[in-house]
């Protein structure tokens, strides 16, 4: 389980009660570059509309919900049926299994084409993820800043998610904290992020 691999390598953040573990070199650079191309080519990218403050808006990034056929996911008042696993994403899932001992049944892929693409403040706390979800976030391509803050607001902490890195969020991290990937005016390379999750099938019927 996670504790087995985390102790020596992880830079664990000093956020009280958040259990976040960062592995900057989860994938060596050449392998991360190969995965970037293969995953980008293989996924069926969409730009869904979501409800934000009562308005339907296009998400400011491309995304793809992928996983086992019963891993239906609902967020921002929208239901996402999974696309079938593609070979490169399955391979990444196998790497994660070997590294963490965990099997994930689904993944949200996000494609940030440039610095205008972003993700707003949120917690991954949908009920189909269960009470204390383990979320394994793999970054490929250009480095971007990731922010995290207490749900009550206040000062945020930043982490630059490097190419080939893995960030594991677990414990009370989603209950107590929010995270986001802000826009940037700096020139940045395209980036893919894959957040592997375990959707509980018993919630799929509603
Ligand atoms: O792109 C990232 O690093 C963040 C992705 C994210 O917050 C999510 O998928 O919930």
For the chain, domains (ranges, CATH) are 2-203 (2.60.120.590)
**How far does the centroid of ligand 1 lie from the alpha carbon of residue 157, in Å?**
15
Determine the residue of 63, 115, 119 to mutate for testing ligand 1's pocket, defined as the one with the most ligand atoms within 8 A of the Cβ atom.
Answer: 119
- Strands 49-52 and 55-58, bridge-based pairing: antiparallel
In this prediction the pTM is 0.90
More confident residue, 119 or 6: 119
Q: Are 111 and 128 in contact (CB under 8 A)?
A: no
DSSP state string for 8-76: HH-EE---TTEEEEEETTSS-HHHHHHHHHHHHHHS--B--EEEETTEEEE-SSEEEEEE-TT--EEET
Q: Distance (Å, rounded) from C-alpha 76 to C-alpha 180? A: 15
> What pLDDT is recorded for position 3?
35
> What pLDDT is recorded for position 16?
59
Q: pLDDT category, 15, cuts 50, 70, 90?
A: low
Taking residue 182's Cβ as centre, other Cβ atoms within 10 Å add up to 15
Task: Judge whether residue 10 has pLDDT over 60.
Answer: no
Distances (CA, A) of 106 to 70, 80, 83, 201: 9, 11, 10, 11
**How far does the centroid of ligand 1 lie from the alpha carbon of residue 193, in Å?**
7
pLDDT tens-place string over residues 144-182: 999 999 888 778 888 999 999 999 999 888 988 999 999
Task: Judge whether residue 122 has pLDDT over 70.
Answer: yes
**How far does the centroid of ligand 1 lie from the alpha carbon of residue 181, in Å?**
7
48-72: average pLDDT: 91
Which amino acid residue places its CA nearest to atom 1 of ligand 1? 193
More confident residue, 201 or 83: 83
Q: Which of 8-12, 56-60, 85-89 is predicted most confidently?
A: 85-89
> What pLDDT is recorded for position 49?
86
pLDDT tens-place string over residues 86-99: 999 999 999 999 99
Which residues does a 6 A CB cutoff place in the pocket of ligand 1?
Answer: 108, 110, 119, 124, 137, 146, 161, 179, 181, 193, 195
Task: Judge whether residue 110 has pLDDT over 60.
Answer: yes
Task: Judge whether residue 117 has pLDDT over 80.
Answer: yes
For the chain, percent of residues with pLDDT exceeding 90: 66
Task: Judge whether residue 8 has pLDDT over 50.
Answer: no
Q: Hey, is 166 helix, strand or coil?
A: strand
Structure token digits, residue 165: 């890195």
Which amino acid residue places its CA nearest to atom 10 of ligand 1? 124
Q: Phi, psi (5° rounding) for residue 23?
A: -120, 95
């Amino acid at each position: 389980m996670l504790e087995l691999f985390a102790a020596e390598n992880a830079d664990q953040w000093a956020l009280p009660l958040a259990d976040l573990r960062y592995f900057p070199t989860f994938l060596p650079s050449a392998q991360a570059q190969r995965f970037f191309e293969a995953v980008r080519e293989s996924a069926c990218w969409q730009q869904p509309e979501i409800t934000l403050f009562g308005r339907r808006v296009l998400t400011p990034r491309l995304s793809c919900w992928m996983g086992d056929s019963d891993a239906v996911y609902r967020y921002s008042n929208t239901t996402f049926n999974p696309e079938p696993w593609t070979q490169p994403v399955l391979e990444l899932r196998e790497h994660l299994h070997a590294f963490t001992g965990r099997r994930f049944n689904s993944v949200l892929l996000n494609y940030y084409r440039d610095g205008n693409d972003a993700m707003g403040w949120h917690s991954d706390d949908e009920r189909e993820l269960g009470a204390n979800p383990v979320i394994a976030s793999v970054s490929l391509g250009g480095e971007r800043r990731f922010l995290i803050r207490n749900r009550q607001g206040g000062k945020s902490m930043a982490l630059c998610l490097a190419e080939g890195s893995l960030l594991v969020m677990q414990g009370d991290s989603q209950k107590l904290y929010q995270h986001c990937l802000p826009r940037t005016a700096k020139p940045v390379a395209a980036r893919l992020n894959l957040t592997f999750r375990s959707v509980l099938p018993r919630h799929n019927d509603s």
